[in-house]
Amino acid sequence: MASVHGMNDVTHLGFFDIPMLTSIPNLVYLAPTNNEELLAMTKYAVHQQDHPVAIRVPVGEFVSSGVVDTTDYSILHKSQVTRSGEGIAKEFHDRYDATELLKENGVSLEQIVADAKQILSV
Alpha helix segments (H runs only) across the chain: 2-5, 17-21, 35-47, 92-104
54 and 74 inside one domain = yes
Confidence of residue 39 (pLDDT cuts 50, 70, 90): very high
21 and 73 inside one domain = yes
Can you tell me the mean pLDDT for 22-38? 87
CB 73 within 8 A of CB 116: no
pLDDT computed for residue 122 by the predictor: 39
Can you tell me the mean pLDDT for 31-44? 90
15 and 29 inside one domain = yes
60 and 1 inside one domain = yes
74 and 87 inside one domain = no
pLDDT computed for residue 49 by the predictor: 92
Domain that residue 96 falls in: 81-121
72 and 87 inside one domain = no
89 and 47 inside one domain = no
37 and 74 inside one domain = yes
